[in-house]
Amino acid sequence: GFGERKAKAERMFSLMDGFLKNDPFSLQKDILHHVEYTMARSRFSFDDYEAYQALAHSVRDRLIERWHDTHIYFKKTKSKRLYFLSLEFLMGRSLSNSVINLGIQDQYAEALNQLGFEFEVLAEQEGDASLGNGGLARFSACQMDSLATLDYPAWGYGLRYEYGLFRQIIVDGFQHEQPDYWLNFGNPWEIERIHVTYEVKFNGTVEEVDMNGEKVKVWIPGETVEAVAYDNPIPGYGTKNTINLRLWAAKPSNQFDLEAYNTGDYINSIVNRQNTEAISNVLYPDDRSHQGKEMRLKQQYFFVSASLQDIIRRFKEAHNNFDELPEQVALHLNDTHPSLSIAEIMRILVDEEHLGWSKAWNIVNKIFSFTTHTVVAEGLEKIPVDLLGSLLPRHLQILYEINSNFMEELKKKIGLDYNRLSRMSIIEEGAVKSIRMANLSIVCSHTVNGVSKVHSNTLKTKTFKDFYELWPEKFQYTTNGVTQRRWIVVSNPSLCALLSKWLGTEAWIRNADLLTGLRDHVDNTSFRHEWKMVKRLNKMRLAEYIETMSGVKVSLDAMFDVQVKRIHEYKRQLLNIFGIIHRYDCLKNMDKNDRRKVVPRVCIIGGKAAPGYEIAKKIIKLCHAVAEKVNNDADIGDLLKLVFIPDYNVSVAELVIPGADLSQHISTAGHEASGTGSMKFLMNGCLLLATADGSTVEIIEELGSDNLFLFGAKVEEVAELREKGGALKVPLQFARVLRMVRDGYFGDKDYFQSLCDTVEVGNDFYLLGSDFGSYLEAQAAADKAFVEPDKWIKMSILSAAASGRFSSDRTIREYAERTWKIDPCQCPF
Ligand code: GL4
């Protein structure tokens, strides 16, 4: 009985000596225990890496304790769960973040000191978990941190890629990609659940069979792969709650062996095993086009099927009626990548649970919400019908049925407007008949979220206009955010201390709105002085990194001007580089006296180009070519430096962002759905030079347009400018810079011609030419502000003070209350 079980559990708990203790002495004991028994190294001889591993394992133990209690509590309270489905999570490193969120940072620092190690040094041993491409994936990671911190009963689901995003190395100015085999040395942050496995099936045929007089469809699959769970505990800050990010890895199923045994083809069966394992092998490195790749589709279904089996199993453990599903389960589609979930859950409810179509449909359309991270229709995901039909024949039938029901309903509402019907159809007719994953997600979700106000307007008036007119109430927006735990507390400890000192509390770490309190101190000279010192310290850290990475020595008095993000034409790194060339050209043409009045700059650019994206790769090369010339010009000296930071990732960002004076977010208006980098810079008191695009528009609302450097065409002006084509006005300076590149002033003349073509008048889709004049003005305004340090520091403080609204805590709370309808559920200590 219950009493007996309880007594047994209590005895075991006392054998364990209760919970792990967090005083420095106990921590030392635990670390050494892991050196000896986990790493199997002698306590007399272990290096930094082994010390890091032992340290990480001791943290992991503490995470596991909380993880257990949290999940037992969730189960006990039967609270509604959110399942956050995403194919990408850019977690970065875990050590510092975990220790901080557990609230035992100081104890660990002391423990390590007594053992003769330094926490920061060991933390550097950790590699990044780069299971994602860019903003979308880092945003998922920030959301997980906020879900845990705000005590929401949530699970994340994703794929455990063996190769994360490629490592970027630069040879001779060219990007090369190297595999990121990140699990090589083991991963202390995951818990392998060898017993949590599900079979995922592919291919085969669908047959109709008679079941109690009723005809039902049965999928007879051809291939089976096993999904194994790997759990990654995500600790909240200032709470015991530790939620789970469950990532799936593919393992060959045992069914294979049986078949091979029967046919006697042993060797081939081993080869096949390796093919199936390939499903979770590698992250696709293109951050926006996944068109028509079979392996990518397999990944999507593999992930969806395993996750839903897990979710349904958990639901059935506690409930026996599927009518309760919408009150118990919220499924969130992070972009269209997991949207096969819709067909899969219909298949489970109809084919396996025999609920009947209409009952199943009534349940399914109440549980999904969808966030789209894309702006332009061409960026939306499509899956060729043939591909889907051969890989998932039953799912294709289900998708057709969903669509035909939808089309019928639609005809009743809008009549026989065939153009509109065909635009809204889930199936796209044409040369390659395809499934439109966004249409599917919209039709089947109760809420469609944009990621910023501007983005949402674009969705309503352009991308999904037809759907908005049909279901205006479905369309919402929730502006993105970033977690201040990672982006201030972990990455900028000196600023963190300063904030707590002047705000008189650490409460801002859980409530970023309190940052507005900084406004009260902006006129205080000693506060401003301390603020300035913190920035200088972070610039020093960054300067050291730049010197080791590129050999370039930079002056701390210069303005550190940063643009770090994926390389894309729409993000306009080329505009930045052209601005730098222009600056260089001006400096060259000045006499010595005038040069002395120029504000020295260190221009820092970083980011990866998708391996197949030629133009983006040329932009990287041009950046290096310009850097080579400028940095070695004795006339210029410290007045202008250009450095490209290779292999930009989360941990590089943690170093670069706190050290920036100015950062650029200069996409052509209407192209950046939100942008989250800007929010991280803002929090770190970095001034923005930006276009009114994505969430910058909302940043302006909080900060006031006087406190940042705004330029460029507005969203509503872009279409008109484009129409002008060859008649568009472009400043002379732009033509001159373009000429310099074309003429081979920076070498590689032939190589750069096609890059220059993309911004030639008449062909300049992203409007670099027409925005160049106002870009230079904004840059001049930044220079002017920089020579008034008091003014600059004030703007810097006001930037951080305005950043509270851009905490992912606000984002998550909005989603929880409005979209997911879930309540916090805090596990008692
Ligand atoms: C992105 C958007 O491009 C970016 O603006 C946004 O901040 C991010 C998170 O919503 O999603 N969409 C894709 S695709 N990659 C992104 O980073």
- pLDDT confidence of residue 118: 97
* Tokens at 667, concatenated: 């996409």
- pLDDT confidence of residue 261: 61
Q: Are residues 405 and 462 in the same domain?
A: yes
Q: Are 663 and 779 in contact (CB under 8 A)?
A: no
- pLDDT confidence of residue 256: 55
- pLDDT confidence of residue 749: 97
Interval 478-498 mean pLDDT = 98
Q: CA torsion sign, 743 to 746 to 751 to 756?
A: negative
Residues 329-376: tens digit of each pLDDT: 999 999 999 999 999 999 999 999 999 999 999 999 999 999 999 998
Q: Are residues 115 and 166 in the same domain?
A: no
CA distances in angstroms from 382 to 296, 440, 456, 585, 657, listed in the order given: 12, 10, 21, 46, 36
Q: Are residues 156 and 65 in the same domain?
A: no
- 262 pLDDT above the threshold of 80: no
Residue 353 lies in a domain: yes
When pLDDT is cut at 50, 70 and 90, the band that residue 686 belongs to is very high
Residue 579 lies in a domain: yes
- Residue where a domain stops, chosen among 446, 479, 512: 479
Higher pLDDT, 291 or 441: 441
- pLDDT confidence of residue 44: 82
CA distances in angstroms from 213 to 209, 210, 216, listed in the order given: 9, 6, 9
Helix axes 105-115, 48-77, angle to 10 degrees: 150
Mean pLDDT of the chain: 96
- Residue where a domain stops, chosen among 479, 502, 523: 479
Q: Are residues 203 and 309 in the same domain?
A: yes
Residue 714 annotated as catalytic: no
Residue with the smallest CA separation from ligand 1 atom 14 is 288
Q: Are residues 417 and 556 in the same domain?
A: no
Q: Are residues 157 and 116 in the same domain?
A: no
Other C-beta atoms lying within 10 Å of the C-beta of residue 154 = 28
* Nearest alpha-carbon partner for 601 in 587, 591, 589, 590: 587
Q: Which of 242, 676, 811, 819 is catalytic?
A: 676
How close is the Cα of 675 to the center of ligand 1, in Å? Answer: 6
Residue 822 lies in a domain: no
Residues 206-228: tens digit of each pLDDT: 999 988 888 889 999 998 999 99
Task: Tell which phi-psi region holds residue 443, choosing left (phi > 0), alpha (psi between -120 and 50) or beta.
Answer: alpha
Residue 487 lies in a domain: no
Domain of 553 in residue numbering reads as 532-806
SS3 163: strand
Q: Are residues 264 and 390 in the same domain?
A: yes
- pLDDT confidence of residue 292: 78
Residue 528 annotated as catalytic: no
Q: Are residues 259 and 363 in the same domain?
A: yes
Strand spans (E) along 526-616: 559-564, 601-606
Task: Return the ∠ at Cα 216 (arms to 213 and 219), rounded to 5°.
Answer: 145
- pLDDT confidence of residue 260: 58
Ligand 1: atom nearest CA of 138 is 9
Task: Pick from 449, 477, 674 the residue to mutate for probing ligand 1's pocket: most ligand atoms within 8 Å of its CB.
Answer: 674
- 641 pLDDT above the threshold of 70: yes
Q: Are residues 278 and 182 in the same domain?
A: yes
The Cα–Cα gap between 448 and 369 comes to 6
- 131 pLDDT above the threshold of 90: yes
Residue 504 lies in a domain: no
Residues 176-196: tens digit of each pLDDT: 999 999 999 899 999 999 999
Q: 770: which residues sit within 8 A by CB, 6+ positions away?
A: 713, 721, 728, 729, 730, 764
When pLDDT is cut at 50, 70 and 90, the band that residue 259 belongs to is low
> What is the Cα 770 distance to its own chain's centre?
31
> Among 33-47, 83-97, 129-143, 413-427, where is mean pLDDT lowest?
33-47
Q: Are residues 118 and 63 in the same domain?
A: yes
- 255 pLDDT above the threshold of 70: no
* Tokens at 386, concatenated: 């043939």
Interval 721-742 mean pLDDT = 96
Q: Are 643 and 550 in contact (CB under 8 A)?
A: yes
Residue 56 lies in a domain: yes
The Cα–Cα gap between 251 and 194 comes to 10
* Nearest alpha-carbon partner for 662 in 535, 490, 517, 500: 535
Residues 458-467: tens digit of each pLDDT: 999 999 999 9
- pLDDT confidence of residue 687: 98
- Strand-by-strand arrangement of the 223-235 sheet: 191-202, 223-235, 242-252, 154-159, 81-85, 329-334, 368-371, 447-450, 475-477
Q: Are 674 and 699 in contact (CB under 8 A)?
A: no
Q: Are 143 and 811 in contact (CB under 8 A)?
A: yes
Residue 348 lies in a domain: yes
Q: Give the chain's domain count.
A: 3
Residue for token digits 């100081």?
106
Q: Are 785 and 502 in contact (CB under 8 A)?
A: no
Q: What is the DSSP letter of 482?
A: B
SS3 57: helix
When pLDDT is cut at 50, 70 and 90, the band that residue 257 belongs to is low
Residue 510 lies in a domain: no
Q: What percentage of residues in the chain have a pLDDT greater than 90?
A: 91
Task: Say yes or no: ipTM exceeds 0.90.
Answer: yes
- What is the CB < 6 Å shell around ligand 1? 134-136, 139, 287-288, 373-374, 451, 480, 672-676, 694
CATH number at residue 349: 3.40.50.2000
When pLDDT is cut at 50, 70 and 90, the band that residue 801 belongs to is very high
* Nearest alpha-carbon partner for 156 in 330, 293, 273: 330
- What backbone phi and psi angles, to 5 degrees, belong to 181? -85, 75
Q: Are residues 674 and 691 in the same domain?
A: yes
Secondary-structure percent of the chain, ordered helix, strand, coil, rounded to 5: 55, 15, 30
- pLDDT confidence of residue 523: 98
Q: Are residues 116 and 249 in the same domain?
A: no
Residue 571 annotated as catalytic: yes
- 15 pLDDT above the threshold of 90: no
Residue with the smallest CA separation from ligand 1 atom 8 is 136
Q: Are 619 and 752 in contact (CB under 8 A)?
A: no
